[in-house]
A and B are shown apart, each in its own frame.
Chain A
Amino acid sequence: MLEKQTITCVACPKGCEVTVEHDGDEIIEIMGNACPQGADYAKEEIVAPTRILPTTVRVKNGALPLVPVKTTKQIPLEIIHAAMEIIGEKEVKAPVELGQVIVENILDTGADVVATRDLPKKIHV
């Protein structure tokens, strides 16, 4: 079944409106992109959009109750909420280091969830 989908490419600030014609399995034609990255982005967006997931993880005994984290690469948009649930259950002990792996290979995506800052232990006065 022939389908046409138009998305706004965000690979660069131009924001080209790229139209992808496909029949569910096969990409027939891509139009509207000003560069090849636009075609790649559009293809991926239609077939299987992925995103970097930035969120936080609870910290035990840290200077702050949370440490910000992100996935080391883009993961499928459709499993983002499942990823949030898994990350929501985690609690990491302070101190935390920038780049420290909090969840390895989350949901088998090949992406780790890593801390995006150092977080020392709580200072007890």
Chain B
Amino acid sequence: MIKLEKDVVVIGGGPAGLAAAAKVYDNGVEDVMILERDFELGGILPQCIHNGFGLHHFGEELTGPEYSQRFEKDVEERDIEVKLNTMVLDVSPDKKVFAMNKDDGAVEIQAKAVILAMGCRERTAGAIGIPGTRPAGVLTAGTAQRFTNIEGYVPGESVVILGSGDIGLIMARRMKLEGADVKAVCEILPYTGGLTRNVVQCLEDYDIPLKLNHTVTKIIGNDRLEAVEITEVDENMKPIPETSEIVEADTLLLSVGLIPENELSKKAEVVLDDRTGGPIVNEGRETNIDGIFACGNVLHVHDLVDWVTEESQIAGDWAAKYIKGDYKRAEKIEVKAGENVAYVIPQSIELEAEDRKRIPLYMRVSTPLTAVDIELYADGEKLYSFTEPFAKPGEMISVPLAQKTLDDLDEVSEIRVDIIEKEGE
């Protein structure tokens, strides 16, 4: 077994890990290593060949691979050590990272700080218990995307998609463009989880029906998928049997949710938040374990990679500060998700820092609302609020807490965010 010591080990070389590692390095902590399980860096981005990345961060509209390559170049230029095809199998609470690859065999790295950037996995048909058979041709949209855009195979030629989040919408277009017949996108909710732009450019452009309030109630076909049963649901999301119809298809793609992949975090005794599925963190993205940080989809599922980059740079900054001894944990201010708020990250503010300018609070509304006031309270007293034309669960909201605001918050123990729909609009 190869035994190493590193200042910072970054687990995951996707957009989160890449941005965090470069930031650590730029803060003067050059002994940083990225461990990546795939054969190349970029995480999920190399297979996201569509547009829509970088509008905030670069002011340009880029495809996934373009966005990724910029950060890969950053890492390359800084000569940051990367181990590819390397799977981390264990992280201990005392920051020992155990990983394996073909060339080295087993590697045990004693890290001073660990940045968790493992991303997320997709929820499966089995996990939501769709009744029926278990044939070939049923796969998650992301895996279909991998086959189509990286491996070079089209999973099938007549497709039904369950789930109208962006991955489902994007894959509807992708399959259609590559010559498949995309019969429908079903969405169990009365609204789509994806961007309006994607509904237009992925479904409407191609006359692919979007069936809201519908779900797949049966998978049919013993060896290869032959058909699916699609059924309308009522306001409680319960199928209405009389509305069932059989749609012939040889492929069913599932876009039914992403789950932060925290098995390693659990091994390190990192405490998770049930609402996000990811670690509970302070504003430096540090978990309950000193020196273990988390950023990107492993922390909470993001919809824009630009926020992943911002968040990971925060984590990188603070991981570097941790190594240099440049930070201190102070009195903890709990950050609470109030009315209509599904979650807020970070869940606490507790780090002392001289040069900090602001703390962005990332949050999601729990249900679609229009004409909202986003209100911040400190121990029940309103700090400030501002208005937005709408709030959607599928679009993360970033609310900055200015340093001045924080400086004025002596003795505050709780900050709360509410999202209130304005009356009579």
Contacts and interface: CB of A to CB of B under 8 A. Distances in A.
Contacts of A13: 195-196, 395
Interface stretch (B45-53, B243-251, B254-262, B348-356): B45-53
B66 interface: yes
Nearest to A77: B205
Contact of B200 (A10, A70, A80): A10
B205 A116 contact: no
A8 B49 contact: no
Interface in B14-33: none
A50 to B, nearest CB: 11
Contact of B177 (A7, A70, A80): A80
A84 interface: yes
Interface in A1-49: 7-8, 10, 13-15, 49
B69 A84 contact: no
B151 A65 contact: yes
B63 A70 contact: yes
A84 B177 contact: yes
B338 interface: no
A98 interface: yes
B166 to A, nearest CB: 13
Interface residue tally of chain B, by bracket? Answer: 20 to 34
B59 interface: no
A104 interface: no
Contacts of B149: 56, 66, 68
Given A64-B150, A117-B46, A54 B200 contact: no
Interface centre among B177, B199, B395 (most CB of A within 10 A): B177
A51 B201 contact: yes
A14 B68 CA distance: 27
B360 interface: no
Interface centre among B179, B195, B197 (most CB of A within 10 A): B197
Contacts of A55: 49, 177-178
Contacts of A53: 177
Contacts of B393: none
Interface residues of A, number: 29
Interface in B150-197: 150-152, 177-179, 195-197
A66 B389 contact: no
Interface centre among A52, A58, A69 (most CB of B within 10 A): A52
A51 B205 contact: yes
Given A13-B395, A116-B66, A70 B51 contact: yes
Interface string A74-106: 000100110010000000000000100000000
Nearest to B70: A98
B152 A66 contact: yes
B46 A66 contact: no
B376 to A, nearest CB: 22
B65 interface: yes
Contact of A98 (B66, B148, B199): B66
A113 B395 CA distance: 31
Contacts of A66: 149-150, 152
A117 B64 CA distance: 9
A117 B69 contact: yes
Contacts of A65: 151-152
Nearest to A53: B177
Given A54-B51, A84-B177, A84-B178, A117 B65 contact: yes
16 contacts: A8-B196, A8-B199, A10-B197, A49-B205, A51-B201, A52-B51, A53-B177, A64-B150, A66-B150, A66-B152, A68-B64, A68-B149, A69-B49, A70-B51, A70-B63, A116-B49
**A-B residue pairs, 9 tightest by C-beta:** A68-B49, A117-B65, A10-B197, A65-B152, A15-B196, A116-B63, A54-B50, A116-B65, A116-B66
Given A8-B199, A98-B66, 4 more contacts: A55-B178, A56-B49, A63-B40, A70-B63
Interface of B: 40, 46, 49-51, 62-66, 68-69, 148-152, 177-179, 195-197, 199-201, 205, 389, 395
